[in-house]
Structure 1
Amino acid sequence: MFSRAVNIHFPEQQQMFTLLSIDCDNAPNSCRLALKHCQPFFQPGERVNFHRSGIDIGDDKRIDLSRCTRWQPDALYLNPQRIQEIDWQTVAQIIQASVKHSSSLFYFRSDNIFYQEMSRLLQLHRAKLILALQEGNCSAIENEMTALLGLGVGLTPSGDDYLAGLSAVLFIDGHPAQHYRSLFISVLARRKNKTTLLSVITLREAIEQRFRESIHEFLYHVINGEQKPIQQFINEIKKIGSSSGCDMLCGMADAFAMTRPDGGNHVNQDCD
């Protein structure tokens, strides 16, 4: 339960539906409400019923969906020509400069020994996962994904957010690393008990190319070669959660760097 978002849990489907305040951007499995703050209106444990025209919550609330507008973003797509034309390395460097002094646990710089060790492990498994993807080593990819899942703190730990950011780029239709998608899905399904339900859903959606509007707009502008406004989209992504947006950006930066078509990577290899 947050002031700007309320998660509705469906145990049978192992799924969540989110009610968002008007200040939030659009997101999968969500509904934006004409409210600044959700906290005064919704309480944990209230019964929820979905109808064709709306949602009933508790005994005194009904959300009318009859006048809602459905958010349907354009599908992202890459072709070989665009992969050659996009300056992936520059975009990666812009992101890295933006997150290096942010709230990301990947770049923790205080004297808390617990968080220092967590940051060290995040960077270690991050580097090993990148190498495994470059070499097409499926066994190593699974090991490093497993190590990153649940690594961090909060409802969506940093390791999971990093994997979500990585997936958002690597599994764009037409990306040379897209064939790893089934492996990511398989590992997540088998190792989901390592992390939170919200984190599993967020990562699963990212693998399926469903993510927040701010992330979609950022990727859309990069793919279409429009670099001028991307800093403003990076700034919007950084606002997601306490550190989730920054951790996702770390994953996106690594994915962009691996997409360089100059022979410096091997993300198009099949697994050994």
Structure 2
Amino acid sequence: MSFHNNGIDIGNDKRIDLSRATRWQPDALYLSPQRRQEIDWQSLAQITLASVIQSSSLFYFQSDNIFYQEMSRLLQLHRAKLILALREENCFAIENEMTALLGLGIGLTPTGDDYLSGLSAVLFINGHPANKYRSLFTSVLACARNKTTLLSAITLREAIDQRFRESIHDFIYHALNGEQQNIQQLINEIKKIGSSSGCDMLCGMADAFALTRYDGGNHVNQDCD
């Protein structure tokens, strides 16, 4: 593989032409305290999750393959424990459960990593109260980097830093602005990512929406000791 100013050569007979590509520079996502109170986070979580329960996500594996059944069980177990740790603001448990999810699953970007990418895409929006965990996520990923693939580690790192695909940006942007008329169409675009990566990311985003629910309490608002 060789890189040029206007494209990428792969082997002797393949080329990716970038000569007509333009740079995508979206507006930065931002969540104000007022918008956090106004948005129906629970409804967003339910709509998002409903779209992936009957999907190819390993979180909801339905067949009789024992290997995949066990992997699905572990994914759901550590997913639940991570959400509990975030609700309880337990940094030690957050680190443990994130480490357990890294590399867990199948594909070039394992299921657990894609889930964490979706979770990070919402929790680390500028202005979100969970932003205090960004450095912890970055640190855990750096320490456990060898548990997963290079592509997956890069994808998760970029999601933590709020850099992701246009389809994901559009979905979150519409969610933050209360524009739900085309929300299912935007969800369907994300589901097209990889064989199951988009669905796994949506699982993470659904959980992040539920965590963001504003109830006047202290969830994801206090610093860790």
What residue is the counterpart of 2:2 in the other structure? 48
Post-superposition offset of 1:204? 0.5
Residues 56 and 128 (structure 1), Cα distance of their counterparts in 2 relative to 1, 3 Å cut: closer
Post-superposition offset of 1:106? 0.5
Residues 188 and 66 (structure 1), Cα distance of their counterparts in 2 relative to 1, 3 Å cut: same
Identity of aligned residues (%): 80
**Equivalent pair of 1:134/1:269 in contact (CA under 8 Å):** no
1:156 is aligned with what amino acid? T
Residues 179 and 60 (structure 1), Cα distance of their counterparts in 2 relative to 1, 3 Å cut: same
Residue 245, structure 1, aligned to residue 194, structure 2: no
More strand as a share of residues = 1
Taking the aligned partners of 2:111 and 2:18, their CA distance within structure 1 comes to 34
Taking the aligned partners of 2:48 and 2:13, their CA distance within structure 1 comes to 45
State the TM-score, normalized to the length of structure 2. 0.94
Aligned pairs for 1:66-145 (under 5 A) are: 67-145=20-98
2:203 is aligned with what amino acid? C
**Equivalent pair of 1:133/1:267 in contact (CA under 8 Å):** yes
Q: Which has the higher contact order (CA 8 A, sep 6+)?
A: 2
Taking the aligned partners of 1:84 and 1:56, their CA distance within structure 2 comes to 46
Q: Which secondary structure does the structure 2 equivalent of 1:94 belong to?
A: helix
**Equivalent pair of 1:259/1:265 in contact (CA under 8 Å):** no
**Equivalent pair of 2:7/2:19 in contact (CA under 8 Å):** no
* Structure 1 unmatched runs, 5+: 1-46
Q: Which secondary structure does the structure 2 equivalent of 1:130 belong to?
A: helix
Post-superposition offset of 1:109? 1.2
Identify which of 88, 97, 103 aligns with 1:150: 103
* Structure 2 unmatched runs, 5+: none
What residue is the counterpart of 1:187 in the other structure? 140
Q: Which secondary structure does the structure 1 equivalent of 2:144 belong to?
A: helix
Taking the aligned partners of 1:202 and 1:165, their CA distance within structure 2 comes to 10
Deviation per residue, 1:24-65 (Å, 9 max, x gap)? xxxxxxxxxxxxxxxxxxxxxxx41333xx235256777665
Q: Which secondary structure does the structure 2 equivalent of 1:49 belong to?
A: strand
What residue is the counterpart of 2:114 in the other structure? 161
Runs of 4+ in 1 over 4 A off after TM superposition: 58-67
Residues 114 and 66 (structure 1), Cα distance of their counterparts in 2 relative to 1, 3 Å cut: closer
**Equivalent pair of 1:258/1:265 in contact (CA under 8 Å):** no
Identify which of 184, 187, 203 aligns with 2:156: 203
Q: Which has the larger radius of gyration?
A: 1
More helix as a share of residues = 2
State the TM-score, normalized to the length of structure 1. 0.78
Taking the aligned partners of 1:228 and 1:248, their CA distance within structure 2 comes to 21
Residues 74 and 271 (structure 1), Cα distance of their counterparts in 2 relative to 1, 3 Å cut: same
Residues 153 and 65 (structure 1), Cα distance of their counterparts in 2 relative to 1, 3 Å cut: closer
Taking the aligned partners of 1:246 and 1:228, their CA distance within structure 2 comes to 20
Q: Which secondary structure does the structure 1 equivalent of 2:129 belong to?
A: coil
Q: How many residue pairs align between the two structures? A: 224
Taking the aligned partners of 2:48 and 2:217, their CA distance within structure 1 comes to 19
